Amino acid sequence: MFGYVLANSAELTPNQQRRYRAFYCGLCRALGKRCGKLSQFTLSYDMVFLAMLLTGLYEPESEGGSSRCPLHPTKRHDWLSNPIIDYTADMSVLLTYYNLLDNWQDNKNAPSLAAAKVLAPRTREIARQYPRQSASIHHCLSQLERYEKARSEDLELTAGCFGELMAALFCYKQDFWRPTLSEMANGLGKFIYLVDAYEDLPKDRKAGLYNPWTTYASRPDFEEHCHEVLTLLMAQSAAAFEKLPIIQDQDILRNILYSGVWTRYQAIVDKKNRRNPKG
């Protein structure tokens, strides 16, 4: 359910692209150091966005460097390191672990169970360090599973679970910024869940699987309705973001919120239109 919160690279300057990549490499590096090399498969641009957002808000002391890695051995890449990037690495592992367990429980997916067992020792340590986030992720995914099994047609209920989950991750501290970060994360989390469901809709309908959009898909104005719902959610998220006193990397963050999050959705729409041209 990740891969939707990324930058529109075509609209970033070369310096912005290097900065964005430094966060990506920093998060990958933090995952490897803190949780082992295999944890690096949890890396996502969605969590890179979180690292950049919280770094801009709290401005922790950071260090940087340049190094090669096994995936890119011929070229050195810049990286950043700070406590918030470490936090984001831990949240990546925690979230992936619970998702893997859900895959095993729902589909008896053996590779998911095997991967969860690899992450389990470090996940237990992270859960002890961040009990609030751990409990919230587990609760939200369990609640979402109940709604999905009941084939709920209420978008607010189903998408709201993922919005609440994202809010737990975004609230790095229980401080003055918690309500604003929660509002921002709720809109973004609901957007992620519903775009993911929109992408899966054709195959879910064909297989008779649950999808929160299924009932709405028969409406003649479904595409317009879907776009309107998603637009309202991102407007909520962006409006909350604008309340945060972030100066560092604000142009990259705005690129992601106002343009980047729509690139995957637009690609899905374009693919759908190619398969079903109007005429």
What pLDDT was estimated at residue 195?
A: 97
Return the number of other C-beta atoms located less than 10 Å from residue 126's C-beta: 22
Q: What is the residue-averaged pLDDT of the chain?
A: 92
Please indicate whether residue 76 or residue 223 has the higher confidence score (pLDDT): 223
Longest dimension (CA), the chain: 58
- Looking at the DSSP bridge assignments, the partners of residue 78 are 66
Torsion of CA 85, 87, 89, 95, to 10 degrees: -140
Task: Give the pair of three-digit tokens for residue 32.
Answer: 């490897």
Pairwise CA distance, residues 181 & 76, whole Å: 34
Write the pLDDT tens digit of every residue in 140-174: 999 999 999 999 999 999 999 999 999 999 999 99
Domains in the chain with CATH codes: 9-275 (1.10.600.10)
Residue 105, pLDDT above cutoff 80: no
Chain center to CA of 8: 16
**Residues 41, 42, 44, 48, CA torsion sign:** negative
Average pLDDT over residues 1-16: 91
- What does the alpha-carbon distance between residue 150 and residue 237 come to, in Å, rounded to a whole number? 28
Q: What is the pLDDT confidence band of residue 110, given thresholds at 50, 70 and 90?
A: confident
Residue 104 has what pLDDT? Answer: 72
Cα angle 34, 161, 45; round to 5: 40
Distance CA 27, CA 81 (A): 8
Helix (H, G, I), strand (E, B) or coil at 33: helix
